[in-house]
Structure 1
């Protein structure tokens, strides 16, 4: 683990955490508060969480990081698989000396959080899943072709934005492969058992309307897959259904996300 800088807040740490063949840019506010690990959308950055972090304030310990080849500093890798993303959670926690944490994930990050919570019940204080981790069979051959076409279409301008950290340092094919893998992992027969097996408190914050690449009411039909999950597992509840769409939820509905984290933290499982 290498340290790059400290902020004006003396306890805050920023630096690079080595994992496998790469290194991740991590920010940790440190302190004695409940550790919260923020898991980003598939090609998003830790900056998306700034409103949630500010809303919760300094009594919490906030750990954010940019996944492989995301943001301005996280390094490229030969492995952008979902399992690598789950391993990265462990690497960040180990590097920052955190044994037990509360997870919050948006979109792709929600699926990572669900898997990590299911695999590590003794280490997970609970999870908040933000408009993601819906078990639904949305991927078929036609959708796979739509995904590949979408990323090929965007490939000409994405390199222009990479210096800003807005777009990942991944090829169009790598991004499409990652999105298609997510579709396979989101199938009811794959994700359903993961959610059914979770034994820690989980709260969903659900958006409304469309997401990038969706058509008509596709996204709402995907979200409806959550109904059967909450009926089967009493540990999982919907905290809020908000007006913001998938892409805007962390910007427009950050208070609902913060409230869901407070809700989980208030449960006896967390010990507050």
Structure 2
């Protein structure tokens, strides 16, 4: 599946991984440490993880990638759905020869990580969900209209950022549809059962304050949905609530994410094996 004949372990590797009708830009630090795959925010890039990866250091095997039409190199696709994002995790791990990994996701990536961990308990060492995957019925008709209006306004300056890789190569309509689909994925009746099925050590790191496009205490009300989750599932706990907001958490409070990853890995080592 990879375009290079490089060994899945050993030296660092950077290349393109083919999946469906597209190809994803992937970076793998290699080595024999615990494999950690990092799942990006909805329109973010693998560069967002640099502080966290540097802090964890070379004792881990870090695998990052840019989703479809994100970053500078990942290719366009006919499918930008949430299910495609989940499939991409499998494609990247298979291409790098990794059967079992610790999944870390931020924002949109936390939803992807939760779904992947729920569906693949035998392949998941553990999960760290960073300010995302919080069950909440925040999507209604008024919110859909607000989302569409927001992305229509953004369409004028997004092309200026695309050559830098800081904006996705998606139309305003595609970005809006992706955000609206996430609202459906986040509904309590949809996400609640997914989280209830997680059987591996899972930790949340939660931000404070707002996220892009949110108003007032909307984000805090969404985060409150985690209380019921941790009550129902003993495998899931809130590791930390940090001072930084949603957009700054990986830059300003990455030590809390490092601590959660370390805790999850330790707990996984302590679990009995069949």
Contact between 1:230 and 1:236, CA under 8 Å: does it hold in 2? yes
3-state SS of paired residue (1:74): coil
Structure with more of its chain in helix, by fraction = 2
CA distance in 1, matches of 2:218, 2:165: 29
Going from structure 1 to structure 2, the CA distance change for 1:180 and 1:268 (only over 3 Å counts) comes to: closer
Q: What TM-score comes out, normalization by structure 1 length? A: 0.96
Question: What is aligned with 1:23?
Answer: 23
Length, aligned pairs only:
268
1:100-179 → structure 2 map (5 Å cutoff):
100-179=100-179
CA distance in 2, matches of 1:90, 1:270: 26
3-state SS of paired residue (2:246): coil
CA distance in 2, matches of 1:137, 1:3: 44
TM-aligned CA deviation for residue 11 of structure 1: 1.1
TM-aligned CA deviation for residue 209 of structure 1: 0.1
Residue ranges of structure 2 left out of the alignment (5+ in a row): none
Q: What TM-score comes out, normalization by structure 2 length? A: 0.96
3-state SS of paired residue (2:17): strand
TM-aligned CA deviation for residue 2 of structure 1: 1.7
1:103-132 deviations in whole A, cap 9, x for unaligned? 000000000000000000000000000000
Indicate whether 1:84 and 2:84 are aligned.
yes
TM-aligned CA deviation for residue 63 of structure 1: 0.0
Could you list the runs of 4 or more consecutive aligned residues of structure 1 that deviate by over 6 angstroms after TM superposition? none
Residue ranges of structure 1 left out of the alignment (5+ in a row): none
Question: What is aligned with 1:2?
Answer: 3
Question: What is aligned with 1:210?
Answer: 210
Contact between 2:42 and 2:108, CA under 8 Å: does it hold in 1? yes
1:77-110 deviations in whole A, cap 9, x for unaligned? 0000000000000000000000000000000000
3-state SS of paired residue (1:266): helix
